[in-house]
């Protein structure tokens, strides 16, 4: 039905938009992976790579925004197509922020490498893996309009929160026992919060997907929302 | 011209949308004010008030999103009107996040009140004032389509960044001198970062306003962007 109304051209444009968002998601995920690898390996070159890697994401951010405007203006989509494009606008913003957070992680990794390591890092790479998977799954759920997968993303968020709290408590103990670790431990705490926020962005995306598919608003436990049309 | 094309009804709906966004901005700003006041006065009742104050913001968040969808679907706006509604979708998201950040500040204020005060707080309320003003000005710039005001908001962001760095350095000194202050100082550091992020949201809004009015993308120093139509 949508296909008939808007014609093949619109659907092709929409597919291209999705491809671009997936591409951007892949870049953002790679940036996070790189920043955390730079942290783990205390590697200056990797830090530099991560710090300078946001350019393609920023270019895509602007391009995708432009595509959304064009689709809205030229094709005046309705119902699920309209919701898909508005979701794309929001997802685009979320992915750009993930890119920014990867930069923040790389900056903290650079500082961290200037101090003696506080401890063997186990929970931070674990958080990174969870956040990256959430990000990938949230985008897959968008492309496939898969609300079950989106719901699984929402369920993962508690794990990140628990790990963040655990990391905080452990590092606090280190700081109290040895004030010489304070500066380095602070950077690890900040990194764990950046990773938590990456999970929050994946959560936002998953919520947008559920709204897009079902016109049901799961934010703020709103229950049954108003279908937009 | 826009008025003729879309008729009086569309313009009225758009005005209502703006009024709602201003209302939401006022609530978000008030939540930030309350959370910082709770911190300063170490007042349990104020903390509780701030922690429970996000309900009206969350309701407005959903209502405004619905209004944007309705405007897009029923009136199929073009050019600056289209950009205004897409900007409203984004601004709505930013304001909701500001509400979340106020809750985060209130949570940190609750923990902070359980410890002896680290120091007399001067820079944090200063940051809060700047962030609140940026938020108010960014919304005013949206309603009045005032790019000069939006530009002034962008210029303020450096002040927040400088204060955040200053707060961090000062608190680090306290922590190193007296590990007994570590936990409390950590909460102040987190609060300063929450306030910085509130400034970031105001910055996002200001950038959206500049794009809405001039179709010029000032994000990522993109220079002259493509007008959407």
Q: Quickly tell me which residue has 């186990």 as its tokens.
A: A122
Q: Is residue B153 part of a domain?
A: yes
User: What is the band of B79 on the pLDDT scale with cuts at 50, 70, 90?
Assistant: confident
| Residue A223: Cβ-neighbour burial (10 angstroms; 0-12, 13-18, 19+) | exposed
pTM for this one?
0.91
Q: Phi/psi of residue A119, each to 5°?
A: -165, 170
Question: Rounded CA gap, A185 and A119, in Å?
Answer: 9
Residues from chain B contacting residue A199 (CB–CB below 8 Å): none
Q: Could you tell me how many helices (H) and strands (E) chain A has, helices first?
A: 7, 0
Q: Is residue A159 part of a domain?
A: yes
| Residue A126: Cβ-neighbour burial (10 angstroms; 0-12, 13-18, 19+) | middle
Question: If interface means Cβ-Cβ distance under 8 Å, which residues of chain B face chain A?
Answer: 58-59, 61-62, 65-66, 68-70, 72-73, 76, 78-79, 82-83, 86, 89-90, 93, 172, 175-176, 179, 182-183, 186, 189-190, 193, 217, 219-220, 222, 225-226, 228-229
Q: Is residue A227 part of a domain?
A: no
Percentage above 90 pLDDT, chain B: 86
Distance of CA A40 to the CA centre of its chain: 20
- Within 10 Å of residue B19's Cβ, how many Cβ atoms? 11
Tokens of B126: 């200063």
Q: What is the pLDDT of residues A67-117, one digit of tens each?
A: 999 999 988 898 899 999 999 999 999 999 999 999 999 999 999 999 999
| Residue A78: Cβ-neighbour burial (10 angstroms; 0-12, 13-18, 19+) | middle
Domain assignment of residue B149, given as a range:
2-221
Q: Where are the alpha helices (DSSP H) in A113-181?
A: 123-144, 147-177
Could you give the ipTM of this predicted complex? 0.89
Cross-chain Cβ contact A59/B220 below 8 Å: yes
Average pLDDT of B205-215? 93
CB B109 within 8 A of CB B35: yes
Q: Is residue A229 part of a domain?
A: no
A70, A172, A217 member nearest B228 (Cβ)? A70
Please give the tally of structural domains in chain A. 1
Q: Is residue B228 part of a domain?
A: no
Q: What is the pLDDT of residues B2-43, one digit of tens each?
A: 444 556 789 999 999 999 999 999 999 999 999 999 999 999
CATH number, domain with residue A85: 1.20.58.220
Collapsing DSSP states into helix, strand and coil, what is residue B91?
Answer: helix
């Amino acid at each position: 039905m949508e296909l008939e109304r808007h014609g093949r051209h619109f659907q092709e444009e929409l597919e291209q938009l999705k491809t671009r968002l997936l591409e951007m998601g892949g870049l953002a995920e790679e940036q996070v992976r790189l920043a955390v690898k730079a942290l783990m390996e205390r590697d200056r070159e990797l830090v530099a790579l991560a710090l300078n890697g946001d350019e393609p994401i920023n270019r895509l951010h602007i391009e995708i925004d432009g595509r959304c405007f064009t689709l809205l203006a030229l094709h005046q989509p309705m119902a699920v197509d309209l919701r898909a494009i508005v979701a794309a606008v929001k997802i685009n913003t979320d992915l750009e922020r993930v890119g920014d957070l990867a930069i923040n992680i790389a900056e903290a990794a650079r500082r961290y490498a200037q101090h003696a390591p506080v401890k063997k890092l186990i929970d931070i790479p674990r958080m990174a893996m969870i956040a990256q998977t959430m990000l990938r799954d949230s985008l897959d759920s968008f492309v496939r309009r898969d609300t079950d997968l989106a719901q699984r993303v929402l369920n993962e968020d508690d794990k990140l929160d628990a790990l963040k709290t655990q990391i905080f408590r452990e590092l606090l103990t280190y700081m109290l026992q040895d004030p010489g670790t304070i500066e380095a431990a602070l950077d690890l705490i900040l990194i764990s919060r950046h990773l938590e926020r990456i999970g929050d962005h994946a959560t936002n995306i998953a919520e947008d997907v559920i709204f897009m598919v079902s016109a049901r608003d799961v934010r703020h436990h709103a229950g049954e929302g108003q279908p937009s049309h």
